[in-house]
């Protein structure tokens, strides 16, 4: 009799189990759909953050950065339609999308960062929020869920912020990097240094003030002096060692030879009325007194020397780019006064342009043939001598007030910066390694020192 009373229970239990299984299956389907939607939103947030960071170089306002971010999010399928009001989890708000751009970020490890002037921050935070519908969860009274994807990007240059100023590309295995002799100040408070080599201060005192400073190798020589970084790097993390190797930011820059310029057969240059004109030369020598370089491209083929700026020379030139090939390079006397400015669309109308009408060499002041490698590096040991002396690397110096307004690009060579005293201004350096000596202050200013309208070396990357 008891068994008769239990008849049908298995059916009821089965029905309940099937209902629960279907509920869990439905929950799984809904969660899968929501996760898929979040992946789409994450793609939009990543693209928006990168686009916003890319606008840092040319925008001084949060509005300009946000405009690029909003546009990129829309291109990836998520256009803000909430009027700036964050969407809430409400079935009536299905399809609501908010794209929030915060400069600086409001949360995370980069919250409140206000460096990278003139941009309001080194970092862009984007949140893409959307109210997504549910399907099976409606049976449990849950008709929608609010999904948010977040991304943070910075416009970095190697290890530095958007306004990068120095790269040394030689890697630690060669035991080269930023070396110093004398008592030198390297002043780069608003831009970043990315050193793929070691950081060697043996033999002198080096004071570094940088927005950020990353080193792929190690500290191989302590010397004296101090190193301080901007607000994004703590005192105990400045420099940052064992950092990822920074890519050559100008690796794709075409040579003048590939653009149809004549790169061989030049003769020694002779100034006319104390001025030089663009062309191909075997060497250029500048003596005492005032000398002007007219706007254009100067190619030195190395058959009889390089660009030699002698003692007591006073050199000026606007809209100029010097290309060194066949082992040629530049040598500047410590008592010269040099003020050179790289091309821009305004100051060098004869300089080559790309298909978009932008000058190919806008912002590039010195450019060494990438095939000319390590003329300032000891070929027997593979290590750098600082100063390089007779090894023949590029040498930039001059009296206080000298300025090299453009990118100094010697990707396969050691650059020697020297000065007896005072200050020498540079925009950016991209070299195999960097050597400094003397008692001067070298001011590296990054993109802010480039000619007006020039926007190069921008490498936005995601950091969160």
pLDDT at 208 over 60: yes
Mean local confidence (pLDDT), 394-406: 90
Residue 183 pLDDT: 84
Residue 232 pLDDT: 56
pLDDT digits (tens, 9 = 90+) for 90-125: 665 788 889 999 988 999 877 887 665 556 777 889
pLDDT digits (tens, 9 = 90+) for 288-318: 999 999 999 999 998 888 999 999 999 999 9
342: confidence class by pLDDT, cuts 50, 70, 90: very high
pLDDT at 323 over 60: yes
pLDDT digits (tens, 9 = 90+) for 235-285: 667 788 887 777 787 877 889 999 999 999 989 888 888 999 999 999 999
Residue 396 pLDDT: 92
Phi, psi of 448 (to 5 degrees): -65, -20
Contact 328, 285 (CB under 8 A): no
Highest mean pLDDT among 162-171, 233-242, 339-348, 373-382: 339-348
Residue 224 pLDDT: 74
Residue of higher predicted confidence among 3 and 427: 427
348: confidence class by pLDDT, cuts 50, 70, 90: very high
Residue 59 pLDDT: 47
Mean local confidence (pLDDT), 163-186: 76
pLDDT digits (tens, 9 = 90+) for 157-166: 433 444 678 8
Which of the residue ranges 104-113, 149-158, 339-348, 383-392 would you say has the lowest mean pLDDT? 383-392
Mean local confidence (pLDDT), 353-364: 83
Residue 119 pLDDT: 64
Closest CA to 294 of 315, 312, 276, 269: 276
pLDDT at 375 over 70: no
64: confidence class by pLDDT, cuts 50, 70, 90: confident
Residue 418 pLDDT: 85
Highest mean pLDDT among 63-72, 135-144, 156-165, 254-263: 254-263
Mean local confidence (pLDDT), 37-44: 89
381: confidence class by pLDDT, cuts 50, 70, 90: very low
Residue % of the chain over a pLDDT of 70? 76
pLDDT at 457 over 50: yes
pLDDT at 380 over 50: no
Which of the residue ranges 161-165, 354-358, 445-449 would you say has the lowest mean pLDDT? 161-165
**Rg for the chain (alpha carbons), in Å?**
29
Mean local confidence (pLDDT), 373-395: 59
pLDDT at 378 over 60: no
The mean of the pLDDT values for the chain is 80
Instruction: Tell me the two tokens of residue 220.
Output: 């191989």
Contact 279, 294 (CB under 8 A): no
406: confidence class by pLDDT, cuts 50, 70, 90: very high
CB under 8 Å, gap of 24 or more: what pairs does 216-225 form? 216/171, 216/172, 216/242, 216/243, 216/244, 216/245, 216/246, 217/171, 217/172, 217/177, 217/241, 217/242, 218/172, 218/242, 220/175, 220/177, 221/179, 223/180, 225/180, 225/183, 225/184, 225/201
Closest CA to 249 of 93, 404, 417, 364: 364
pTM, entire model? 0.68
How many C-beta atoms lie closer than 10 Å to residue 151's C-beta?
A: 24
Strand 144-156: give its sheet, edge to edge. Answer: 97-102, 123-133, 144-156, 459-462
């Amino acid at each position: 009799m008891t068994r008769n009373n239990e008849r049908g229970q298995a059916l009821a239990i089965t029905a309940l189990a099937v209902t629960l299984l279907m509920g869990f299956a439905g929950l799984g389907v809904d969660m899968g759909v929501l996760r898929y939607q979040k992946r789409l939103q994450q793609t939009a947030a990543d693209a928006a953050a990168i686009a916003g960071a890319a606008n840092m170089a040319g925008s001084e306002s949060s509005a300009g950065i946000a405009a690029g971010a909003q546009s990129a999010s829309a291109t990836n399928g998520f256009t803000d339609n909430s009027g700036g009001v964050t969407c809430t989890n409400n079935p009536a708000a299905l399809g609501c999308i908010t794209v929030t751009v915060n400069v600086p970020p409001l949360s995370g490890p980069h919250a409140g960062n206000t460096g990278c002037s003139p941009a309001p921050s080194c970092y862009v935070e984007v949140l893409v929020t959307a109210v997504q519908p549910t399907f099976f969860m409606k049976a449990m009274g849950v008709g929608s869920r609010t999904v948010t994807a977040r991304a943070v990007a910075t416009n970095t240059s190697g290890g530095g912020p958007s306004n990068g100023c120095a790269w040394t590309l030689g890697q630690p295995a060669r035991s080269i990097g930023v070396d110093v002799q004398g008592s030198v100040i390297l002043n780069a408070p608003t831009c970043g240094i990315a050193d793929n080599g070691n950081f060697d201060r043996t033999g002198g005192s080096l004071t570094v003030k940088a927005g950020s400073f990353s080193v792929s190798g190690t500290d191989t020589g302590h010397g004296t002096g101090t190193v301080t970084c901007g607000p994004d790097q703590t005192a105990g993390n400045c420099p940052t060692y064992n950092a990822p190797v920074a890519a050559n930011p100008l690796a794709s820059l075409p040579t003048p030879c590939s653009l149809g310029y004549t790169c061989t057969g030049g003769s020694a240059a002779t100034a006319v009325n104390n001025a030089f004109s663009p062309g191909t030369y075997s060497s250029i020598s500048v003596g005492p007194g005032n000398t002007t370089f007219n706007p254009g491209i100067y190619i030195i083929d190395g058959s009889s020397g390089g660009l030699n700026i002698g003692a007591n020379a006073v050199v000026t030139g606007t809209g100029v780019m010097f290309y060194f090939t066949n082992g040629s390079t530049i040598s500047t006397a410590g008592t010269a006064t040099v003020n050179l400015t790289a091309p821009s669309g305004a100051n060098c109308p004869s300089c080559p342009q790309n298909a978009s009408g932008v000058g190919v060499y806008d912002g590039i002041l010195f450019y060494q043939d990438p095939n000319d490698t390590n003329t300032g590096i000891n070929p027997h040991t593979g290590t750098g001598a600082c100063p390089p002396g007779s090894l023949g690397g590029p040498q930039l110096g001059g009296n206080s007030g000298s300025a090299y307004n453009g990118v100094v690009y010697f990707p396969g060579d050691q650059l020697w910066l020297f000065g007896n005293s005072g200050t020498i201004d540079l925009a950016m350096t991209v070299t195999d390694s960097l050597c400094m000596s003397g008692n001067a202050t070298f001011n590296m200013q990054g993109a802010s020192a480039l000619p007006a309208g020039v926007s190069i070396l921008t490498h936005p990357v995601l950091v969160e």
